[in-house]
Every structure is written in C-alpha cells, then in structure tokens.
A and B are shown apart, each in its own frame.
Chain A
Amino acid sequence: ETGVTQTPRHLVMGMTNKKSLKCEQHLGHNAMYWYKQSAKKPLELMFVYSLEERVENNSVPSRFSPECPNSSHLFLHLHTLQPEDSALYLCASSQAPGQSSGNTIYFGEGSWLTVV
C-alpha cells in the first residue's frame, strides 16, 4: 500500500472510447506527475503539476488531457487513443521542486491500459 493510489488498476478501451485515470495522494505533497512506462523504454514523463499549475507537458499528444483540481488529485483523460498507447501509466507525487532538497518522487501502483 502506498500513499499514492490510482484507479482503475486495469483498463481496456476501444480507440473511440473516452475514459479517465484517477490518482490521489495522501502524502501532503504539492507536485504531481504522470509517467508512461512502455516495454524496453525508460519511464517517460508526460505531465507535471506543481502547486496545481501545469509546469511541464513533454510533447504529449492531445488525446491525453490532464486535470489537477487540487494538490491531492490528478486525472488523465483519454480519448481516441491508439494501440501504441497501451502501457503502464504511473502517477507520482513529491514536494514541489525547489521546496526541499529531497523532492523524492513516490509512485502509485499504476494503471495498466490496453487499447484495442
């Protein structure tokens, strides 16, 4: 059990579907992240929210849309995905960069996404 919880843990969706991934952190952090993990690739940073503002968007296609309503919750809205988007999507949280020397990132359990 971690301080970062993600739902659903597994999701199968068609290319025309719209779905959302949800993340909640209970660690009192004020930065949240979405990462994508595909086979044989490094973890790819998708989005960063710091103090509820999006501070980074690493050239992610617009079919992925993040939402951060407050410092404890983060969503990833998915629409018209492609089969190559199938991957493990990891949410993470930390103190905002620059606020402490650690800024250690803690991951949730991940959401396994399969696009058919």
Chain B
Amino acid sequence: QKEVEQNSGPLSVPEGAIASLNCTYSDRGSQSFFWYRQYSGKSPELIMFIYSNGDKEDGRFTAQLNKASQYVSLLIRDSQPSDSATYLCAVRVGSQGNLIFGKGTKLSVKP
C-alpha cells in the first residue's frame, strides 16, 4: 500500500527561525512531490512541487528531495506567524498516478 508519512506535530518555532517539515513515502516509483498549505477551515493551496533530487527554492520556501532515502522536506526561512498552518505532503506515483496525501504537519510560529 502506498503511504506518505508526516509527523502530525504540532511543530512550534519562534518567529524568524527556520521551520523544517519532513515527509517520507513508501513507493520508489514516486516521481513528483508537492507541498500544500492548509489554514484552519480553508482548503489546501499549493506551495511548490519538486521532481528532481536536490533543492528547489521559491522565496522563503525550499523543497528538498532525496529519492534514494524516499524523503522530501520543506524548509521555511524567516518563519512568520502567518505561516502557521497545516502543511500537507503529497506524492504522485508515476506520470499518471493520483496524488497520495500525508496527514499533514501542523506548524505554529510564535511571535
């Protein structure tokens, strides 16, 4: 069974710190990886996606992918209270598979 695992948290970081969110997946055929942010009572919104091993940076966000370790992470630099949300990791197996979501990690950024 294909699984995506995330620590449910809550992960608490002080304002201005780096928040590190981690995700592991079970299927080695996974090809694309997505991070979504979901505020309480709202729907998930896409932050970024990554396909290749290494780092991908977009503003304060950096996604890191290590396919050998089946591990993907999201770093948030200079964390702000407005970053407080649940972060969902999603994985697509192959080019035509559906997205499989983790349960999400709740992040709390304290002023």
Q: For A110, what are the chain B residues with a Cβ–Cβ distance below 8 Å? A: 42-43
Contact of A97 with B98 at beta-carbon distance under 8 Å, contacts A41-B103, A43-B88, A104-B34 already known: yes
A108: chain B residues within 8 A (beta carbon): 43
Q: Would A45 and B45 be within 8 Å (CB), given that A40-B103, A104-B34 are in contact?
A: no
Query: In residues 83-111 of chain B, which contact A (Cβ within 8 Å)?
Result: 88, 90, 92, 95-104
- Secondary structure dominating the interface of A: loop
Q: Which of A90-116 contact B (CB under 8 A)?
A: 90, 97-98, 101-110
Q: Indicate the size class of the contact surface on chain B.
A: 20 to 34
Task: Looking at the assembled complex, report how far the CB atom of B58 sits from the nearest CB atom of chain A, in whole angstroms.
Answer: 14
CB distance from B85 to the nearest CB of A (A): 14
State in angstroms the CA–CA spacing of A98 and B97 once bound together: 9
Closest Cβ neighbor of B46 among chain A residues: A104
0/1 string, A50-68, CB within 8 A of B gives 1? 0000001000000000000
Q: Is the CB of B102 within 8 A of A42?
A: yes
Q: List chain A residues, Cβ under 8 A from B95.
A: 97-98, 101, 103
Contact among B32, B46, B92, B101 for A42, CB-based, below 8 A? B101
Q: In this complex, which of A40, A42, A88, A90 has the most chain B Cβ atoms within 10 angstroms of its Cβ? A: A42
Q: How far is the CA of A46 from the CA of B32 in the complex (A)?
A: 21
B71 in the interface (beta carbon within 8 A): no
User: CB within 8 Å of B: which of A55-86?
Assistant: 56
* 6 A-B residue pairings within 8 Å (CB atoms): A43-B44, A97-B96, A103-B32, A104-B34, A105-B90, A107-B44
> Which 9 residue pairs of A and B lie closest in terms of their CB atoms, listed nearest first?
A97-B96, A43-B101, A107-B43, A98-B96, A110-B43, A42-B101, A42-B103, A109-B43, A107-B44
